[in-house]
A and B are shown apart, each in its own frame.
Chain A
Amino acid sequence: MARPHIEPFCDRDTGFKNMILPGFAGGMRYKMLSLDVDSGACSMTVQYDGGYRRAPGFSWSEMEMIVIEGELQVGDRTCRKGHYFFVPAGYALPEISTAQGCLVLVMYNTGEPSHEESTEHHPLAQVDLYHSVDSYMDLPWAMGNVTKPSVAAGCLIKLLNYNPISHAMTFLYCMTPGYYQDNISYHDCAEESYHLWGTSWMMQFGEVPTGGYFWRPAYINHGAFASEYGCIALGRTDSKLFNHFHYNPWSTPVENVERSAARLYKRDPLLYKWCLSKDHNHPHGPEDFEDTMQRRGDEQGHDTEHKSDGKTHDHWHGHHHHEPGSPHTHTHADGTTHSHD
């Protein structure tokens, strides 16, 4: 069931609630934007009140956050408006605090909000994936044509996070004043957006103002698009983003996914037929041999470094050793044997 379609929603229309989950200190208030009813994954606008302080620790869920207003102290680093964090599950953040209070967009991707006090990372944490950046000051705007067909000029992005396996993305995007794009779009992925500032318009949903938000499941029509005075927003997709443009406002998600499949058939007919034949259309996908193939490992103490000097090489077969030019014997798979003197 995952997250339902929440669009449009504006967090300015609701009040904050006190966070009562264990692990979070008092002074944290939130507005729920969307929630996965199966996993508890969610996106929230969070107000940390002045004087808020949370002990070092990690979440069981992967988490992303961006400072909307105010200053957030993360360890010895002062993070201001636009500072973005990608925090893998189990990654222990230092103490966070705020002297004057701050507003933060917080997204838990794989589970419910949680905070386990700890100064050490969980053993399973993929610590190398952690990164943070002042997205307003330290990243340039780039053209929005990260996929083709592309959005119209005037929609610019700053890529904040990219998953090379699923192609999921987190990015800032802006629309310049007077922006418009006359097509209807849908994607093969879910899409989420939070308006940090400004207003945009979509033909299905009307105006989305500052604090406006949507979580949109795959294959739902949106657009045409416009922004009279411009806007800046944080956007996310949960897998590869592809723009399926069209101009039929009455198509349904089922008709849209059928169109996507039809386009896949036209583009990759062999792959399409293979996926639909025999037992290949398993819902969790076929096996990727790169995930499951047997690998050499450490070869029980042998040198695994590839050599190119023509004299020494590493071994991964049933092997024997000899010096170059020395007498030795080979036994082949067909049982024949020969020797070199």
Chain B
Amino acid sequence: MTFKNLFIEHDLAPEVRQWLEEEIAEQEERFKLIEKEMQDLAPTREKWYQEFFDRITTIGFNVDGDDKMKISQADLPVKPEGREDRVVWKHGVDSD
């Protein structure tokens, strides 16, 4: 991903490279912690999903702004068999 804006070429000093390596390593640890916390949240999230389905079938699903449409029970999605509930994707579409 890029903001597609100007970057001015320049040399990186060794201490800058070392700083980047350390920050990348720390970020890796931070990511693992987040991923674990979000896995642990899965049982609570299952209840949130059910509450969401209850609301969009009774009050409505926000189609655009405050325009709402009630979703029929028959149209609710079925969780694919064997698929884990995953919300953290390290590299988006390029995740494992």
* Chain A interface residues toward B at CB < 8 A: 1-9, 20-22, 32, 34-35, 37, 39-40, 42, 60-62, 88-90, 109-112, 114, 122, 124-126, 145, 148-153, 163, 165-166, 168, 181-183, 189-190, 203-206, 217-221, 224, 238-239, 245, 247-250, 252-254, 256-257
Contact = CB atoms under 8 A, between A and B. Distances in A.
Interface of B: 1-8, 10, 12-13, 15-16, 19-20, 23-24, 26-27, 30-31, 34, 38, 41, 44-45, 48-49, 52-53, 55-56, 59-66, 68, 71, 76-77, 79-80, 83, 85-95
A305 B42 CA distance: 66
Contacts of B79: 250
Given A3-B1, A61-B7, A203 B48 contact: yes
A22 B16 contact: yes
Nearest to A206: B41
A173 B53 CA distance: 27
Given A203-B48, A220-B89, A253-B89, 4 more contacts: A149-B63, A153-B65, A217-B93, A253-B93
Contacts of A1: 91, 94
Contacts of A203: 45, 48-49, 52
B45 A247 contact: no
B1 A190 contact: yes
B61 A205 contact: no
Contacts of A220: 87, 89, 92
B23 A32 contact: yes
Given A4-B31, A20-B19, A182 B61 contact: yes
A62 B3 contact: yes
Contacts of B13: 22
A200 B37 CA distance: 18
B92 A250 contact: no
A152 B6 contact: no
B63 to A, nearest CB: 7
